Amino acid sequence: MARVLYILPSSTYRAAAFLDAARSLGVDVVTGSEQPQALAGVMGDHFVELDLDDPDRAVGAIERLARRLPLDAVVAVDDVGGLVASMAAERLGLRHNPPPAVAATRDKAAMRRLLDAAGVSQPAWRATSVATAAVTEPDTVADAVADLGLPAVVKPRSLSGSRGVIRVDTVDEARAAAVRVRSILSETGASPTETLLVEEFVAGDEFALEGIVRAGALEVLALFDKPDPLDGPYFEETIYLTPSRLPPERAEAVRSLVASAVAAIGIVEGPIHAEVRLGASGSRPVLIEVAARTIGGNCAKVLRFATGTTLEELVLAHFLGSGGPARREDAASGVMMIPVPRSGRLVAVRGLDEARGVANVTGAEITIAPGRRVRTLPEGDRYLGFLYARAESVERVEHALRSAHSEIEIEIESDLDGVEIARRAPAPPRRARG
């Protein structure tokens, strides 16, 4: 029986889906995490404690484990464990991405430099220096904005999921954004010397490409439309729809751009998730980001392949050396990441049964327990939950998701006034597509 080590950070949404994939494929599972209390009691000798903040130490622990339980694959279920997984797999002679490539996908400045060197279309950008006695960080960010032009985007180089990403339309807003992003980084325990990025704001519709790389060749698994505006000041994603409504020639331009980015970064094996902006007809696509992981949150549930294979099964089979090309099902599908309407304490979510009863809706789930504090972007790092739909057309999928969302009531005790407020969540505005 093949054996896989899954690296499961305590923050991940993805554990259950990957464990199900291993059961489906008949693969023995060993788990590694930084929090032993979460898994050690369940997994017994099939658990290893890993310090994910110290990759060399974590790899040493995996090597010791592999002498006792030989491994056939090391798989990170999301990007937090990606570097450790690639380093360990390389050390053990297993299928892997080069560790420098994985590291670059976790460092936006390093990724931008590689893309620039390869001539890949991306936003103009600057990496700002940290504060000195003579020049403050807000002033440095303001200088970068003045150099690039407005509007611009200020972001951390190490965070993901739109956390800490802020559009600015004036130099004063840029200074304020620098202070706010630095505060967010401090909350995460990031290095106090981490530089910030300033990028030109790229107007246009945004798309997501889900793919898998096999020996350096990109295979597209799904291309998603994002029908709601992502114009800032914060970049909260809501709806993903597939198949894309892009004309074939524009879809191919997106695929070609992502393939060029993957090659420039050096990704050669495993899943990738890319974000691309596409402006008016005829303009070339612009790469926003590439991550060496599957689609985030629980969004992968929306993907089904013609053989009945899940995305997680496809990824696991690939790293075990037994995977092959996969074709997505014919039906249209989509997911809505339920946004946090305001920061505060989550009291209750109502209307899930009504949301599940909407035609073409296949699921509705809340992933944050009542009583927990929730935060909006740019500080927040969680969605309230997910809605899923499937139909014969993306238009019907989109309608189902918006209708289901309108059935949900979210009650939050406000951070501002301490009053419990029940609100019916409005459907996000529909975007006209060119």
* Same domain flag for 128 and 99: no
Give the model's pLDDT for residue 426: 44
Give the model's pLDDT for residue 251: 96
State which of 166, 200, 234 marks the end of a domain. 200
Residues of the chain below pLDDT 50: 418-427, 429-434
* Same domain flag for 74 and 168: no
pTM to 2 decimal places: 0.92
Give the model's pLDDT for residue 297: 83
Give the model's pLDDT for residue 364: 97
Q: Is 41 exposed, middle or buried (0-12, 13-18, 19+ CB in 10 A)?
A: exposed
Give the model's pLDDT for residue 137: 87
Those residues with Cβ within 8 angstroms of residue 205's Cβ, 6 or more apart along the chain or in another chain: 225, 226, 277, 278, 279, 431, 433, 434
Those residues with Cβ within 8 angstroms of residue 186's Cβ, 6 or more apart along the chain or in another chain: 192
Residue 398 lies in a domain: yes
State which of 144, 169, 200 marks the end of a domain. 200
Of 123, 96, 120, the closest CA to residue 267 belongs to 96
- Evaluate whether 364 touches 388 at the Cβ level (below 8 Å): yes
* Same domain flag for 433 and 368: yes
pLDDT, one tens digit per residue, over 139-167 is: 999 999 999 999 999 999 999 889 999 99
Give the model's pLDDT for residue 361: 98
Give the model's pLDDT for residue 283: 82
* Residue 349 to residue 231: CA distance in whole angstroms: 28
* Same domain flag for 181 and 150: yes
* Residue 287 to residue 434: CA distance in whole angstroms: 19
Helices marked H in 76-151 — which ranges? 82-92, 99-105, 108-117, 137-148
Residue 248 lies in a domain: no
Reading the block at residue 230, the tokens are 């992502």
Range of the domain at 362: 332-434
- Please state, rounded to an integer, the average pLDDT across all residues of the chain: 91
Domain count, the chain: 3
* Same domain flag for 9 and 89: yes
Give the model's pLDDT for residue 433: 45
* Same domain flag for 55 and 153: no
Residue 389 lies in a domain: yes
Match 């023995």 to its residue by tokens: 28
CATH value at residue 89: 3.40.50.20
User: How many of the other CB atoms lie within 10 Å of CB of 53?
Assistant: 11
Reading the block at residue 145, the tokens are 């904005």
pLDDT, one tens digit per residue, over 30-41 is: 999 987 655 555
